[in-house]
Amino acid sequence: MKATRRYAAGLAAIVTTAAGLLAGVAGGASASGFPAFVGPLHRTSVIASTVPGNGDVNPYGVFVVPRTTGDLFRGNVLVSNFNNKANVQGTGTTIVEVTPSGHQWVFAKINRNLRGCPGGVGLTTALTVLRSGWVIVGSLPTKGGNVSGAGCLIVLDRWGHVRETFRGGGINGPWDMASLDLGGQAVLFVTNVLNGTVAAKGHIAFGGTVLRLVIRIPQFGLPFIWFRATIGSGFPERTDPAALVVGPTGAAWAATMSCTSPTR
C-alpha cells in the first residue's frame, strides 16, 4: 500500500473488526515518519457488536454523528455493513448506530433491490453524516459473487429513510468518501473503483478516480448535486478474490485531499 499523504495524530481511535467496534488508546503519532496508524494502540476494548438482527457482517464505513437530530445522536457512531449474513461481499444493506457505552440499534435497513441504484445494494466504506441530518452512503453491489452494477450514493434522512440516490456522472463503484460539511452545502470526495476493473479480469486497470461533488442542501426539499468534477484519475484498481475490489480508498479531507491505492 502506498499512501500519497497521511495525517496521523490524536489520542484515541475507533476501528472496526469483522463484527464489532474496538476502541484503542495511545499517545500521538508522528505524521513525518508515516507509521502504521494502529501501531501504537496497545490496549483495546470491545465496545459493541455491529451485527444487526438480519446477520449482516463486515463493517466498512464508520462515521461519528456530529449533531443530534432525528434518530441521530451526537457522539454515536454509524457503521455500514458490506456483507450479508452468509458473508457474501457487496450484499450488506444495514447501517447500525452504536453509542459510546455500547448500545446498538439499526439506523437503516435498505431494500436490496433499491430502485435508482444500478445493480442493487452493498454498502461500502463511503459513509458520511452531515450536520443537517442527511446521511449519504455508497453502494457497490454484487450478485452471485460478481459485481452486478455501478452502484450509487444513497441519501437517507435523519430517521434512516431512503429519500433519493445519486448515480451516473462518474459515480461508478463508490468505494470510499471524505466530506467537508459547510452547512448549506457539502463537498463530497468519492473514490470510484469500477472504471474498467471488471473487464481487466484481475489485472490492474488504471481507471480509479476521485470525484468531487458539491451538494446543495436547501432548507426545504432534498439535497442535490450542484457541481461535479473528476479531480483525480489513473489510480490502479483490480478485482480480488478476497477483497472483491482493490482500488483507491482511505479518503481523508485535511485542507488537501488524500487517499491510498493498494494494488498488491
Percent of the chain clearing pLDDT 70 (strictly above): 82
For residue 4, pLDDT beyond 50: no
Residue matched to cell numbers 458539491: 214
Domain boundaries, the chain: 51-260
165 or 43, greater pLDDT: 165
Give yes or no for a contact between 71 and 107, defined as CB atoms under 8 angstroms apart: yes
Query: How does pLDDT run across 8-29, given as a tens digit for each residue?
Result: 333 334 455 555 666 555 444 4
- For domain 51-260, give the fold: Neuraminidase (2.120.10)
The residues, ordered by sequence, that sit 6+ positions from 113 with a Cβ below 8 Å of its Cβ are 120, 121
Question: Cell triple for residue 119?
Answer: 445493480
Query: Which of 189, 168, 175, 151 shows the shortest CA–CA distance to 261?
Result: 175
Average pLDDT value over all residues in the chain: 87
Query: Which of 137, 142, 113 shows the shortest CA–CA distance to 243?
Result: 142
- Furthest CA-CA distance within the chain: 47
Query: Cα dist. 50→60, 84, 93, 156 in Å?
Result: 10, 12, 13, 19
Query: Which of 180, 197, 117, 106 shows the shortest CA–CA distance to 153?
Result: 117
Q: What local confidence, expressed as pLDDT, does residue 249 receive?
A: 87
Rounded to an integer, the average pLDDT of 49-58 is: 96
Question: Cell triple for residue 190?
Answer: 468519492
The pTM of this model reads 0.85
- When pLDDT is cut at 50, 70 and 90, the band that residue 2 belongs to is very low
Distance CA 213, CA 125 (A): 17
Q: What local confidence, expressed as pLDDT, does residue 39 receive?
A: 76
Q: What local confidence, expressed as pLDDT, does residue 40 receive?
A: 79
Rounded to an integer, the average pLDDT of 163-169 is: 97
For residue 80, pLDDT beyond 70: yes
For residue 260, pLDDT beyond 60: yes
Query: Which of 41, 49, 43 shows the shortest CA–CA distance to 17?
Result: 49
HEC letters along the chain = CCECCCCCCCCEEEEECCCEEEEEECCCCCCCCCCCCCCCCCEEEEEEECCCCCCCEEEEEEEECCCCECCECCCCEEEEEEECCCCCECCCCEEEEECCCCCEEEEEECCCCCCCCCCCCCEEEEEEECCCCCEEEEECCEECCEECCCCEEEEECCCCCEEEEECECCECCEEEEEEEECCCEEEEEEEECCCCCCCCCCCCEEEEEEEEEEEECCCCCCCEEEEEEEEEEEEEEEEECCCEEECCEEEEEECEEEEECCCC
CA 171 to chain centre: 14
Query: How does pLDDT run across 84-117, given as a tens digit for each residue?
Result: 999 999 999 999 999 999 999 999 999 999 999 9
Query: Which of 88, 91, 90, 127 shows the shortest CA–CA distance to 107?
Result: 127
- When pLDDT is cut at 50, 70 and 90, the band that residue 34 belongs to is low
Percent of the chain clearing pLDDT 90 (strictly above): 72
Query: How does pLDDT run across 119-153, given as a tens digit for each residue?
Result: 999 999 999 999 999 999 999 999 998 999 999 99
- When pLDDT is cut at 50, 70 and 90, the band that residue 38 belongs to is confident
Give yes or no for a contact between 249 and 262, defined as CB atoms under 8 angstroms apart: yes
